A = this chain, B = another copy of it.
């Protein structure tokens, strides 16, 4: 792969690739991506992080162009993209491109939907732009992963800003030159440090990528120029933000092999490394029934990385429970819960969960895959059973069905906007390809009464 004109060739593909060149199966995955993102954005809408973000930016926001999902405040397109990107990620429940750990929809869908409220667009055009944006984002991620991530960049922020710019640039109908500029304006805003994990800034990253990527597209549309080699130049994105790159990951098989088709959706509201444990413990709970009350010990064996990331023995807050495999195992065994309600301050301090998590031990075992776990349960009478999870539910090998996506959506969104709004919103999301005006989705995310009150 020649190292020149990467950015221009990518931009040319973004603006020229025919919508009907996208396979039907990829389009269907795109609808699932939108569906899952919407459920997460509504589910996270009342989180303290979103409250603080809104309190900080509201005095400065333009008004009445787009809708804060699940709440109803109406702000300008860019600030709406920021807030919806935050809420879609804040519960750690969103989608994952497993090759790069990018959460693709947050930056891309948050930018697109806010823009679609401002300038109406059909469901088919929206879906095309969404898939192209996710494709750009994941491919740029692939080209620098894992070195870029290992260096300390939160790749959802740094690759996400390209995805948002590409998606909106496509939707706006930019020409090749302006699309190249948009990618350049995105590149020079690429940011987000992994040091922020565990703070509100983690979910700020996809929101900010959505906002900045959208701004890049609008600036380029207005003639604001940038380098034409923003990705590949000696002082461009790939060289400055990574120690290695492979541009074949960006342009190779573009439009033929779809990274956007590899998106996956979390069944549990925490990092993917805990998912096998929750999956296995939920299975055991279903089989054991009331016997879970007679558990004497739970012994987990997992890859060292899993324990490095989730080894918090005595979590005190909801946020800390997301980094405790002990808590996750106990909560799945006792309550069967891996949803956002499993990771709350209440759950962190519930006596029965604290008691059981103290019976959970974990050992590192390099012979076990990062995506696997071995669970041994010992009962008070000395009996033992073992469960091996090779790949958890939600992985590419065991993807969530549409029905499971609905159950996830309904649970988290129902807590925020109620069952009725949730039900009609879900139905509308599935009908994305038929919608004449996608902006209707955003407005449908808010219960009637609240929508009126917020305006």
Indicate if the CB atoms of A221 and B189 lie closer than 8 Å.
no
A239 CB to closest chain B CB, in angstroms?
6
A68 within 8 A of B: no
- Closest-by-CB residue of B relative to A194 is B235
Given contact pairs A56-B215, A218-B60, A184 touches B199 in the complex (Cβ within 8 A): yes
Measured between beta carbons, the chain B residues less than 8 angstroms from A327 are none
Residue numbers in B under 8 Å from A191 (CB-CB): 188-191
Q: Is A300 interfacial (CB-CB < 8 Å)?
A: no
Closest residue of chain B to A190 (Cβ to Cβ) is B191
Q: What B residues does A153 contact at CB under 8 A?
A: 240
- List chain A positions with a Cβ less than 8 A from chain B: 49, 52-53, 55-57, 59-63, 65, 76-79, 118, 151-154, 157, 184-185, 187-196, 198-201, 204-205, 208, 215, 218-227, 229-230, 233-237, 239-240
Question: Closest approach, in angstroms, between the C-beta of A439 and any C-beta of chain B?
Answer: 16
Candidates B65, B118, B193, B229; contact of A237 at CB < 8 Å: B193
Which partner residue on chain B sits nearest A157 by CB separation? Answer: B188
Q: Is the CB of A240 within 8 A of B56?
A: no
Q: Tell me how far the C-beta of A158 lies from the nearest C-beta in chain B, rounded to whole angstroms.
A: 9
Report B-chain residues with C-beta under 8 Å of the C-beta of A118.
Answer: 59
Closest B-chain residue to A119, C-beta based? B59
A216's nearest neighbour on chain B, judged by CB, is: B56
Closest to A118 in B: B59
On whether the beta carbons of A240 and B188 are closer than 8 Å, the reply is no
Option from B52, B151, B208, B237 in Cβ contact (under 8 Å) with A222:
B52
The answer for the CA separation of A63 and B229 in the assembled complex, in Å, is 35
Q: How many Å lie between the Cα of A154 and that of B191 in the bound state?
A: 13
